[in-house]
Amino acid sequence: MATGFFTDATLCIGCKACEVACKQWNELPSDGFEFTGNSYDNTSQLSGTTWRHVDFVERESFDESGLKTSWSMVSDVCKHCTNAGCLEACPTGAIVRNEFGSVFVQPDICNGCGYCVVSCPFGVIDLIEAVGRGDDAKKYGLATLHDDRLNDRKTAVQATGGVAGKCSLCFDRQRVGMVPACAKACPTESIQFGEIEELHERAKRRVETLQERGVEARLYGADDIGGGIGALNAFFLLTESPEAYNLPVEPVLPSTRQTMGYAAAAAAALTLATIGWAIFRGDS
């Protein structure tokens, strides 16, 4: 039975409890502080060390009563795609689909080649740079960790040459029957965790309710999203178009381009071989 997330933009209050709970449970280091000025979003993006990221879509409009500001927040996460670009690209087999149907990176097998990073159509997975001592430790706010603690880390953050990092859908928690940390921490049930089919039911009911109330609501990724990717195990209810939340409208599974690529390469090679044969051996 596959499990996943249903994240509902109409319930999110932008508290970022999910971001914090995820960082704590997964022992992910700080990314440093950057003040962006983009509404209340100073996290900016998902990364190798940020596995939940709350989007703040801020809109300003004028009417007779003056300036009006509206917000739509939603917590972004790895989509755990049915056909995952990262998983297909990984040359070491570090990225696997686990028994919960989630896409999981095994940090001890990943060799840091970075090919998954450019193969995710959603820009989710990223490399966590080597975390050691000295400057690295400072960058990630690890300077205060004891050495043995640093060495013992079982999470993606190891003293390695860099590994890929992204949401694991709390594989470790799920195995002992616990709910993922972000869903557990979410105070409004904007992040719901459960079996996919059940989440789909709930999401459809929610859209109906919202539409009855005149709210423009749409699901993102509950059904096949196209481009060969299929449905997303982590799907969303949005009130704006996907671009507003930095989500692709038409994502494409990169491996679908391979056949064409190899064919084009073969055609070029054959052409050159024929010309070469004429140049070198045409007289024999």
Partner 1 sequence: MKSYYDRPLLKGPHWGANVVTYLFLGGIMGGLGLISLLSDDRPEPAMKKLRKATRYTAFALAAINPPILISHLGRPERFLNMLRIVKFKSPMSLGVWGLVLYSGAAGANALRELADDGIVPSALRYVAPSATVPIQALLGAFMAGYTGVLISATAIPLWGTGKRHIPAFSVCSGAASASALATLLSTLQGNHEVIPRLERLEMAASALEIVTIADFRKRGGRATAPLFEGRVGKRLRDYTILGGIVVPFVLNAVGGAVRLPKSIDALRSIAASMLTLIGGYVLRESLIEAGKLSANDPQAAFRQPS
Q: How far is CA 163 from CA 4, 45, 160, 234, 268, in A?
A: 24, 18, 7, 23, 36
Rg value, the chain, Cα:
22
- By beta-carbon proximity to ligand SF4, the closer residue of 73 and 89 is 89
Q: Does 35 bind partner 1 (CB under 8 A)?
A: no
Give the nearer residue to partner 1 in terms of CB position, either 55 or 200.
Answer: 55
The alpha carbon dihedral of 217, 221, 225, 231 has a sign of: negative
User: What residues numbered 116-135 form the site for partner 1, per CB under 8 A?
Assistant: 117-127, 130
Of 220, 247, 240, nearest in space to 231 by CA: 220
Give me the 165-204 binding string for partner 1, x by CB under 8 A, dash otherwise.
----------------------------------------
Shortest Å, Cβ 71 to partner 1: 13
Give the footprint of ligand SF4 on residues 109-168 (CB under 6 A).
110-116, 120, 122, 124-125, 164, 166
As a whole number of angstroms, the distance between CA 245 and CA 229 comes to 19
266 binds partner 1 (CB under 8 A): yes
Phi-psi region for residue 36, left (φ > 0), alpha (ψ -120 to 50) or beta?
alpha
3 state SS of 53 = strand
Question: CB-wise, 14 or 227, nearer to ligand SF4?
Answer: 227
Q: Using CB under 8 A, which residues numbered 231 to 250 contact partner 1?
A: 241-250
Residue 16 as a binder of ligand SF4 (CB under 6 A): the answer is no
**Residues 50 to 89: which contact partner 1 by CB under 8 A?**
55, 57, 85, 88-89
User: 120: closest CA among 193, 18, 47, 196?
Assistant: 47
Among 94, 156, 167, 222, which residue sits at the site for partner 1 (rule: CB under 8 A)?
94
Measured from the CB atom, the residue of 17 and 81 that comes closer to partner 1 is 81
At residue 257, φ and ψ (nearest 5 deg) are -90, -5
